[in-house]
Amino acid sequence: MKVFLTGATGYVGSVVAEKLLEKGHAILGLARNEASEAKLKERGITPLRGDLQDFDSVKKGANEAAAVIHTAFSHNFSDYTNAVKLDGKAVAAFAESLAYTNKPFITTSTSSFLGDTKGNSAGEDYPFDQNSPRLPRGEVEQNALALLQKGIRSVVLRLPLFVYGRGGSSFVPFMIRQAKDTGAANYVESGAERVSAVHVEDAADLYVLALETGTAKGLFNVSSEAVSMKDLNEAIARLLNVKAGSISIKKAKEKFGKMFDFLSINNQLSPEKARRELGWQPKFEKGILDDIENGSYRNFSVEARRF
């Protein structure tokens, strides 16, 4: 199958591309510049020049392919509002090209707008936090799901806050660098808040399952484990050979800035629907704590010794 993939050079998208190629699918990848084109060609991916702001290229890719997987998203937290607006416009552009084709459209969402799930492992029908500053991302999710009514096999994969592995992601490197720069891996107050996590390869496997399972449609949570913020920071402390400890909410807001909201809440997802309906079985059993301390994030400890 020929798949149009956005974000093919990004953290999640590049692993999705790898999994698609392993399964024999052809990929048309959106490329913002010559460097991206070169990277895609090296991996056996046909580049399509354009970006999410170029809606003609988005529509062209959707028209030329038998399916669309949309993983691209700007993770510039200083301009999050405009990033979400752009994502919403991109989804609308895809809808114009895909309407009444029954083509698969697999897009990416996040658990962040659910806010604090407290002691709950949120299912796909868990209510949105109406006071969340990231609520518009949830609205984009709902718009993507509504495409089922327009003859599109729409699938939304809702990723947890902590997608990890291969030494990448957003939150794990941020936390490691914070600990390295300050000489302490700090969590907020008790650090008892629990968050869901999934290895990037396990997440990528689910994108492929959603593509290849012809009955797959609707929303699926993506999660393989839950860990506490205290445990995460203690693993980072062991990685860097620094102390782990509690700090106040006030100090944490100063230290973490725009990341504070993500690092101070319970945010757990239930993956039972994906396991039940798609047969998804995560393979990385050692988990995020082991990967931080003994796995793909070991290069950060080498960097830390240089300071």
Are both 100 and 210 inside the same structural domain? yes
DSSP string, the chain: -EEEEESTTSHHHHHHHHHHHHTT-EEEEEESSHHHHHHHHHTT-EEEE--TT-HHHHHHHHHHSSEEEE------GGGHHHHHHHHHHHHHHHHHHHTTS--EEEEEEESGGG---TT--B-TTPPP-TT-TTHHHHHHHHHHHGGGGGT-EEEEEEE-SEEE-TT--SHHHHHHHHHHHHTEEEEETT---EEEEEEHHHHHHHHHHHHH-TT--EEEE--SEEEEHHHHHHHHHHHHT-EEEEE-HHHHHHHHGGGGGGSSS-B-B--HHHHHHH-------SHHHHHHHHSTTHHHHHHHTT-
Residue 59 lies in a domain: yes
Domain range for 173? 164-195+226-268+283-304
Residue 275 lies in a domain: no
Are both 263 and 242 inside the same structural domain? yes
Higher pLDDT: 302 or 41? It is 41
Are both 242 and 98 inside the same structural domain? no
Are both 202 and 238 inside the same structural domain? no
Q: In the predicted model, what is the mean pLDDT of the chain?
A: 94
Are both 208 and 249 inside the same structural domain? no
Are both 239 and 251 inside the same structural domain? yes
Residue 85 lies in a domain: yes
Are both 181 and 255 inside the same structural domain? yes
Are both 150 and 256 inside the same structural domain? no
Q: What is the pTM assigned to this prediction?
A: 0.95
Are both 7 and 127 inside the same structural domain? yes
Q: Give the pLDDT confidence of 160-199 residue by residue, as tens digits.
A: 999 999 999 989 999 999 999 999 999 999 999 999 999 9
Are both 214 and 150 inside the same structural domain? yes
With bands split at pLDDT 50, 70 and 90, how would you rate the model's confidence at 76?
A: low
How many domains does the chain divide into? 2
